[in-house]
Structure 1
Amino acid sequence: MNPLKHLLIHTCVALMGCTMVPWAAAQAAAVPNLVQAARLGQAQAVTALLEKGADPDARLANGRTALMEAAARGHYETVRALMIHGADKLLKDGAGHTAFDLAFEKQHGDIVALLRDAS
Protein backbone atom coordinates (compact mmCIF):
# COMPACT_ATOMS: atom_id res chain seq x y z
CA MET A 1 0.00 0.00 0.00
CA ASN A 2 1.20 3.51 -0.81
CA PRO A 3 2.60 5.13 2.38
CA LEU A 4 0.41 8.20 1.94
CA LYS A 5 -2.73 6.09 1.67
CA HIS A 6 -1.66 4.20 4.77
CA LEU A 7 -1.20 7.51 6.62
CA LEU A 8 -4.63 8.73 5.56
CA ILE A 9 -6.32 5.52 6.60
CA HIS A 10 -4.50 5.51 9.93
CA THR A 11 -5.43 9.16 10.53
CA CYS A 12 -9.08 8.52 9.70
CA VAL A 13 -9.27 5.56 12.03
CA ALA A 14 -7.46 7.39 14.83
CA LEU A 15 -9.37 10.66 14.62
CA MET A 16 -12.81 9.63 13.50
CA GLY A 17 -13.06 6.02 14.48
CA CYS A 18 -13.81 5.00 10.89
CA THR A 19 -13.28 1.44 9.91
CA MET A 20 -12.78 2.05 6.21
CA VAL A 21 -11.96 4.88 3.82
CA PRO A 22 -13.34 4.27 0.34
CA TRP A 23 -10.00 4.51 -1.49
CA ALA A 24 -10.90 2.13 -4.29
CA ALA A 25 -14.10 4.02 -4.97
CA ALA A 26 -12.26 7.33 -4.78
CA GLN A 27 -9.61 6.17 -7.23
CA ALA A 28 -12.21 4.72 -9.57
CA ALA A 29 -13.90 8.11 -9.62
CA ALA A 30 -10.53 9.83 -10.19
CA VAL A 31 -10.63 11.64 -6.86
CA PRO A 32 -7.14 12.74 -5.85
CA ASN A 33 -6.13 11.62 -2.35
CA LEU A 34 -5.77 15.26 -1.30
CA VAL A 35 -9.35 16.03 -2.29
CA GLN A 36 -10.63 12.91 -0.53
CA ALA A 37 -8.79 13.85 2.67
CA ALA A 38 -10.13 17.43 2.42
CA ARG A 39 -13.70 16.15 2.01
CA LEU A 40 -13.28 14.15 5.20
CA GLY A 41 -11.84 17.13 7.08
CA GLN A 42 -8.57 15.35 7.73
CA ALA A 43 -6.31 18.38 8.23
CA GLN A 44 -3.33 16.30 9.39
CA ALA A 45 -3.57 14.01 6.38
CA VAL A 46 -3.97 17.00 4.06
CA THR A 47 -0.86 18.58 5.56
CA ALA A 48 1.10 15.34 5.19
CA LEU A 49 0.08 14.99 1.54
CA LEU A 50 0.99 18.60 0.79
CA GLU A 51 4.36 18.21 2.50
CA LYS A 52 4.99 15.15 0.30
CA GLY A 53 4.36 17.25 -2.81
CA ALA A 54 0.64 16.94 -3.54
CA ASP A 55 -0.69 19.71 -5.78
CA PRO A 56 -2.79 21.99 -3.52
CA ASP A 57 -4.92 22.92 -6.53
CA ALA A 58 -5.56 19.44 -7.96
CA ARG A 59 -9.03 19.35 -9.50
CA LEU A 60 -11.90 16.94 -9.86
CA ALA A 61 -13.63 16.51 -13.21
CA ASN A 62 -16.14 19.20 -12.16
CA GLY A 63 -13.32 21.67 -11.49
CA ARG A 64 -13.57 21.50 -7.71
CA THR A 65 -10.37 21.66 -5.67
CA ALA A 66 -9.56 20.31 -2.21
CA LEU A 67 -10.03 23.85 -0.87
CA MET A 68 -13.51 24.05 -2.38
CA GLU A 69 -14.49 20.64 -0.99
CA ALA A 70 -13.24 21.48 2.51
CA ALA A 71 -14.86 24.94 2.46
CA ALA A 72 -18.21 23.56 1.32
CA ARG A 73 -18.19 21.00 4.14
CA GLY A 74 -17.16 23.40 6.90
CA HIS A 75 -13.74 21.92 7.63
CA TYR A 76 -12.00 25.01 9.02
CA GLU A 77 -8.65 23.43 9.98
CA THR A 78 -8.45 21.70 6.61
CA VAL A 79 -9.14 24.97 4.78
CA ARG A 80 -6.49 26.65 6.92
CA ALA A 81 -3.93 23.92 6.15
CA LEU A 82 -4.61 24.19 2.43
CA MET A 83 -4.25 27.98 2.52
CA ILE A 84 -0.96 27.75 4.43
CA HIS A 85 0.34 25.42 1.72
CA GLY A 86 -0.60 27.70 -1.15
CA ALA A 87 -4.06 26.62 -2.31
CA ASP A 88 -5.48 29.25 -4.66
CA LYS A 89 -8.67 30.67 -3.14
CA LEU A 90 -9.56 32.44 -6.39
CA LEU A 91 -9.95 29.33 -8.55
CA LYS A 92 -13.45 28.60 -9.84
CA ASP A 93 -15.14 25.26 -10.38
CA GLY A 94 -17.04 24.30 -13.51
CA ALA A 95 -20.10 26.21 -12.29
CA GLY A 96 -18.07 29.36 -11.62
CA HIS A 97 -17.96 29.05 -7.81
CA THR A 98 -14.95 29.79 -5.64
CA ALA A 99 -14.24 28.23 -2.23
CA PHE A 100 -15.57 31.46 -0.70
CA ASP A 101 -18.84 31.13 -2.64
CA LEU A 102 -19.32 27.55 -1.48
CA ALA A 103 -18.58 28.37 2.18
CA PHE A 104 -20.91 31.38 2.02
CA GLU A 105 -23.70 29.31 0.46
CA LYS A 106 -23.41 26.70 3.23
CA GLN A 107 -23.22 29.42 5.91
CA HIS A 108 -19.78 28.47 7.22
CA GLY A 109 -19.04 31.94 8.60
CA ASP A 110 -15.67 31.07 10.11
CA ILE A 111 -14.43 29.81 6.75
CA VAL A 112 -15.95 32.77 4.90
CA ALA A 113 -13.96 35.07 7.21
CA LEU A 114 -10.77 33.04 6.79
CA LEU A 115 -11.01 33.09 3.00
CA ARG A 116 -12.04 36.76 2.90
CA ASP A 117 -9.18 37.87 5.12
CA ALA A 118 -6.46 35.71 3.56
CA SER A 119 -4.04 37.64 1.39
Structure 2
Amino acid sequence: MFDLARDGHSEELAAYVDAGVPVNLTNDKGDTLLMLAAYHGHPDTVAALLARGADPARENERGQTALTAAVFKQSREAVTALLDAGADPHQGNQSAIATATFFELPAMLELLQRGRGT
Protein backbone atom coordinates (compact mmCIF):
# COMPACT_ATOMS: atom_id res chain seq x y z
CA MET A 1 0.00 0.00 0.00
CA PHE A 2 2.76 2.41 0.92
CA ASP A 3 4.52 1.94 -2.42
CA LEU A 4 1.26 2.71 -4.22
CA ALA A 5 1.04 6.00 -2.32
CA ARG A 6 4.72 6.82 -2.93
CA ASP A 7 4.43 6.05 -6.63
CA GLY A 8 1.14 7.88 -7.17
CA HIS A 9 -0.95 4.91 -8.24
CA SER A 10 -4.16 6.73 -7.34
CA GLU A 11 -6.72 4.42 -8.92
CA GLU A 12 -5.20 1.22 -7.59
CA LEU A 13 -4.75 2.65 -4.11
CA ALA A 14 -8.30 4.03 -4.12
CA ALA A 15 -9.62 0.60 -5.09
CA TYR A 16 -7.85 -1.00 -2.12
CA VAL A 17 -9.21 1.66 0.24
CA ASP A 18 -12.68 1.21 -1.22
CA ALA A 19 -12.30 -2.54 -0.59
CA GLY A 20 -11.49 -2.01 3.07
CA VAL A 21 -7.84 -1.04 3.54
CA PRO A 22 -7.81 1.68 6.21
CA VAL A 23 -7.44 5.09 4.57
CA ASN A 24 -5.31 6.24 7.53
CA LEU A 25 -2.99 3.23 7.43
CA THR A 26 0.41 4.13 8.89
CA ASN A 27 3.89 2.68 8.58
CA ASP A 28 6.37 2.11 11.40
CA LYS A 29 7.34 5.82 11.38
CA GLY A 30 3.76 6.99 11.63
CA ASP A 31 3.62 8.11 8.01
CA THR A 32 0.15 7.76 6.52
CA LEU A 33 -0.67 6.99 2.92
CA LEU A 34 -1.66 10.65 2.61
CA MET A 35 1.71 11.86 3.91
CA LEU A 36 3.59 9.62 1.52
CA ALA A 37 1.54 10.74 -1.47
CA ALA A 38 2.08 14.39 -0.51
CA TYR A 39 5.81 13.96 0.09
CA HIS A 40 6.37 12.19 -3.21
CA GLY A 41 4.48 14.84 -5.18
CA HIS A 42 1.26 13.09 -6.17
CA PRO A 43 -1.59 15.60 -5.79
CA ASP A 44 -4.07 13.30 -7.55
CA THR A 45 -3.37 10.60 -4.99
CA VAL A 46 -3.68 13.16 -2.19
CA ALA A 47 -7.08 14.18 -3.56
CA ALA A 48 -8.22 10.55 -3.92
CA LEU A 49 -7.28 9.76 -0.33
CA LEU A 50 -8.90 12.92 1.01
CA ALA A 51 -12.08 12.07 -0.91
CA ARG A 52 -12.09 8.74 0.95
CA GLY A 53 -11.75 10.33 4.38
CA ALA A 54 -8.00 10.50 4.95
CA ASP A 55 -7.25 12.61 8.02
CA PRO A 56 -5.06 15.61 7.14
CA ALA A 57 -4.44 16.22 10.85
CA ARG A 58 -2.47 13.01 11.44
CA GLU A 59 1.15 13.52 12.51
CA ASN A 60 4.05 11.13 12.10
CA GLU A 61 6.61 10.47 14.85
CA ARG A 62 8.46 13.67 13.88
CA GLY A 63 5.36 15.83 14.26
CA GLN A 64 4.97 16.30 10.51
CA THR A 65 1.68 16.33 8.64
CA ALA A 66 0.80 15.72 5.01
CA LEU A 67 0.61 19.50 4.61
CA THR A 68 4.19 19.85 5.85
CA ALA A 69 5.27 17.27 3.26
CA ALA A 70 3.38 18.99 0.43
CA VAL A 71 4.91 22.36 1.36
CA PHE A 72 8.41 20.89 1.49
CA LYS A 73 7.89 19.43 -2.00
CA GLN A 74 6.32 22.73 -3.13
CA SER A 75 3.24 21.00 -4.53
CA ARG A 76 0.74 23.82 -4.93
CA GLU A 77 -2.06 21.40 -5.90
CA ALA A 78 -1.53 19.14 -2.89
CA VAL A 79 -1.23 22.10 -0.50
CA THR A 80 -4.48 23.55 -1.83
CA ALA A 81 -6.30 20.21 -1.55
CA LEU A 82 -5.08 19.72 2.01
CA LEU A 83 -6.04 23.26 3.05
CA ASP A 84 -9.47 22.76 1.49
CA ALA A 85 -9.79 19.57 3.57
CA GLY A 86 -9.11 21.52 6.76
CA ALA A 87 -5.39 20.96 7.27
CA ASP A 88 -3.93 23.39 9.81
CA PRO A 89 -0.69 25.04 8.61
CA HIS A 90 0.36 25.64 12.24
CA GLN A 91 -0.06 22.02 13.38
CA GLY A 92 2.84 19.81 14.40
CA ASN A 93 6.36 20.17 15.75
CA GLN A 94 7.49 20.75 12.16
CA SER A 95 4.49 22.69 10.92
CA ALA A 96 3.88 23.67 7.31
CA ILE A 97 4.37 27.35 8.22
CA ALA A 98 7.68 26.60 9.98
CA THR A 99 8.82 24.48 7.03
CA ALA A 100 8.00 27.19 4.49
CA THR A 101 9.79 29.76 6.63
CA PHE A 102 12.87 27.63 7.36
CA PHE A 103 13.40 26.57 3.74
CA GLU A 104 12.63 30.06 2.46
CA LEU A 105 9.66 29.06 0.32
CA PRO A 106 7.80 32.38 -0.07
CA ALA A 107 5.26 31.07 -2.60
CA MET A 108 4.29 28.27 -0.21
CA LEU A 109 4.15 30.64 2.75
CA GLU A 110 1.87 32.98 0.81
CA LEU A 111 -0.37 30.08 -0.19
CA LEU A 112 -0.62 28.89 3.41
CA GLN A 113 -1.39 32.36 4.71
CA ARG A 114 -3.93 33.10 1.99
CA GLY A 115 -5.51 29.66 2.19
CA ARG A 116 -6.20 29.80 5.89
CA GLY A 117 -6.41 33.52 6.54
CA THR A 118 -3.38 33.41 8.83
Q: Structure 1 length as normaliser, TM-score?
A: 0.72
Counterparts of 1:90 and 1:9 in 2: how far apart (Å)? 26
Counterparts of 2:9 and 2:78 in 1: how far apart (Å)? 17
| CA RMSD across the alignment | 2.3
2:98 equivalent to 1:101: yes
2:36 equivalent to 1:32: no
**Structure 2 regions of 5+ residues with no counterpart?**
11-25
Counterpart position of 1:54: 54
Counterparts of 1:10 and 1:87 in 2: how far apart (Å)? 23
Report how many residues are paired: 99
Q: How far is 1:92 from its partner?
A: 2.6
Structure 1 residues 92 and 76: alpha-carbon distance in aligned structure 2, compared to 1, 3 A threshold? same
Task: Please tell me whether the aligned partners of residues 8 and 37 of structure 2 are also in contact (alpha carbons under 8 angstroms).
Answer: no
Counterparts of 2:48 and 2:41 in 1: how far apart (Å)? 13
Counterparts of 1:106 and 1:41 in 2: how far apart (Å)? 17
Counterpart position of 1:71: 71
Structure 1 residues 101 and 9: alpha-carbon distance in aligned structure 2, compared to 1, 3 A threshold? closer
Q: Which runs of 4+ in 1 moved over 4 A?
A: none
Structure 1 residues 29 and 84: alpha-carbon distance in aligned structure 2, compared to 1, 3 A threshold? same
**Structure 1 regions of 5+ residues with no counterpart?**
12-25
Amino acid across the alignment from 2:109: V
Q: How far is 1:65 from its partner?
A: 0.4
Counterparts of 2:51 and 2:91 in 1: how far apart (Å)? 21
Q: How far is 1:9 from its partner?
A: 4.3
User: What's the CA shift string for 1:29-67, capped at 9, x where partnerless?
Assistant: 332100000101111100110110110111101111000
Task: Please tell me whether the aligned partners of residues 8 and 42 of structure 2 are also in contact (alpha carbons under 8 angstroms).
Answer: no
Question: In structure 2, the residue corresponding to 1:30 is in which secondary structure?
Answer: coil
